[in-house]
């Protein structure tokens, strides 16, 4: 096994012998075999063990066992004691999820503080099969069916090509001692139930199931790479970005094969889930213009011809502008406040505003527009509700919440970035102008 292990880590370029790594070591057969393999392969590493205090003396003995091994082999040892049960109750998650979260957080803390090159985990071939089945049961889609990667970010799994049987055989041949975790035999946990009951039945029904599953896994990974490449190309050619807002033209999207998957791949990193991707697709097909979808951090608006994705706006607190201010900072950008005397060239850009300074009453105020706001848009005679004005301009629903107004003496002088009020306009009769000019990003 040592030869196969060395060949595998060399082929996958998993380690650099000039660096030191952190091996997560429970004391079980998998991590103890991996410690032996790393040692014999000349890979520098340190050991990390978490005592979750779930099995009393057994947990303490596990920690002592790993510590003793580290001392005998002159390997730096890191121990972390944590109350997994208390954490699970506080966070209202299962013990298994609590333990996983706690150990990975701590591993990363140790890795960073000791400047280690990666976190080495002892997951093997049988763990991979269990993971794929569990992901299938959870409905995680194509990503879940690819299983665990040999390397992902700082996580390194060099035992994935090796079965538990090979690991046990190596441990026996090399006289490697390990600790048995009694909780691994409990069928209270879904993974244990799958390993101890479901998979043996499957292998009994189909003796070739394991090899066929692994062959399918290889094909799925290859297909996923191909699909990922096509997706990235489609994304580059299709998505338009303005600041933090993204626009996806509907066009042919709703008729494309795999449209739901394309939408999901696009929005998942913004906190949306697969069910929402399907709902977005259905809404687009049904032309439900104006429908709004929300994640923890973002909004997605179905507009007439495109999907619009933007970050949620933090609550905006009203801002006052005094007569002496020369600069204004808004989430949408920074503005220069210039006081000019006429005549000057009119700036017609909607993002900027030229207002008759003598008509304004300081301090000015900027706030979000609210229902009931009215103003007389430039060039009109009659007042109009801001809500109706935004509808007339076909401002997407998600963007409406970001619209702000500039007020003078309680009257709207400018719907910022869209239209000034007729009463506040700069004209030939004006002698002084307040010029609100948005600064360039450069």
Show the tokens assigned to 248. Answer: 């996806």
- Quickly tell me which residue has 């439900």 as its tokens: 288
Separation between Cα atoms, residue 82 and residue 102, nearest integer Å: 8
> What is each CA distance from 286 to 254, 256, 279, in whole angstroms?
10, 15, 10
Nearest CA to 290 out of 201, 390, 221, 153 is that of 390
Place of tokens 């702000």: 404
What value, to the nearest 5°, has the Cα angle with vertex 163 and ends 205 and 33?
150
31 is in an annotated binding site: yes
How far, in whole angstroms, is CA 286 from its chain's centroid? 29
Q: Which strands form 411-415's sheet, in the order they lie side by side?
A: 319-321, 364-368, 404-408, 411-415, 419-420
- Inter-CA distances, 7 with 16, 19, 153, 215, Å: 14, 19, 22, 20
Best CA proximity match to 339, nearest among 319, 318, 325: 325
- The reply, when asked if residue 27 is annotated as ligand binding, is yes
Residue 28 among known ligand-binding residues: yes
d(CA 277, CA 288): 15
Contact 410, 362 (CB under 8 A): no
Determine whether the annotation assigns residue 29 to a binding site.
yes
Write the DSSP assignment of 292-314 as a string of letters: EEE-SSEEEEE-SSEEEEEEPPP
Residue 60: which H helix or E strand, with range? helix 57-72
Could you tell me if 270 and 297 are in contact, meaning their C-beta atoms sit under 8 angstroms apart?
yes
Residues making up the annotated binding site are 26-31
Residues making up the annotated binding site for ATP are 26-31
């Amino acid at each position: 096994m040592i030869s196969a292990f060395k060949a595998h880590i060399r082929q996958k370029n998993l380690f650099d012998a000039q660096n030191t790594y952190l091996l997560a070591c429970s004391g079980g057969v998998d991590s103890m075999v991996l410690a032996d393999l790393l040692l014999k392969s000349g890979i520098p590493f340190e050991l990390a063990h978490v005592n979750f205090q779930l099995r009393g003396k057994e947990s303490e003995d596990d920690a002592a066992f790993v510590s003793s091994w580290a001392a005998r082999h002159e390997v730096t040892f890191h121990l972390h004691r944590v109350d997994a049960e208390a954490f699970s109750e506080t966070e209202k998650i299962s013990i298994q999820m609590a333990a996983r979260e706690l150990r990975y957080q701590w591993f990363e803390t140790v890795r960073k503080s000791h400047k280690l090159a990666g976190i080495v985990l002892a997951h093997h071939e049988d763990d991979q099969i269990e993971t794929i089945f569990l992901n299938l049961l959870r409905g995680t889609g194509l990503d879940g069916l690819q299983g665990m990667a040999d390397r992902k970010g700082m996580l390194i799994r060099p035992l994935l090509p090796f079965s538990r049987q090979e690991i046990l055989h190596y441990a026996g041949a090399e006289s490697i001692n390990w600790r048995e975790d009694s909780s691994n035999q409990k069928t209270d946990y879904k993974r244990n139930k799958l390993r101890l009951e479901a998979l043996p039945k499957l292998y009994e029904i189909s003796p070739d199931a394991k090899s066929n599953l692994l062959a399918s896994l290889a094909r799925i990974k290859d297909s996923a790479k191909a699909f990922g490449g096509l997706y990235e190309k489609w994304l580059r050619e299709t998505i338009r970005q303005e600041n933090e807002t993204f626009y996806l033209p509907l066009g042919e999207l709703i008729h494309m094969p795999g449209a739901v998957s394309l939408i999901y791949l696009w929005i998942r990193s913004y906190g949306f889930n697969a069910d929402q991707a399907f709902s977005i697709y259905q809404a687009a097909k049904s032309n439900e213009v104006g429908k709004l979808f929300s994640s923890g951090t973002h909004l997605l608006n179905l507009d007439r011809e495109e999907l619009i994705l933007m970050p949620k706006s933090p609550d905006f607190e009203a801002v006052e502008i005094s007569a002496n201010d020369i600069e204004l900072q808004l989430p949408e950008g920074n503005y220069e406040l210039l006081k000019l005397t006429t005549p000057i060239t009119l700036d017609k850009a909607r993002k900027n505003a030229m207002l008759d300074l003598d008509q304004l009453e300081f301090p000015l105020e900027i706030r979000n527009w609210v229902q009931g706001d009215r103003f007389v848009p430039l060039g009109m005679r009659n007042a109009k509700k801001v809500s109706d004005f935004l509808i007339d301009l076909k401002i997407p629903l998600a963007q409406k919440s970001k619209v702000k107004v500039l007020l003078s003496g309680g009257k709207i002088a400018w719907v910022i970035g869209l239209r000034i009020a007729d009463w506040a306009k700069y004209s030939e009769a004006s002698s002084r102008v307040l010029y609100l000019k948005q600064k360039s990003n450069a």
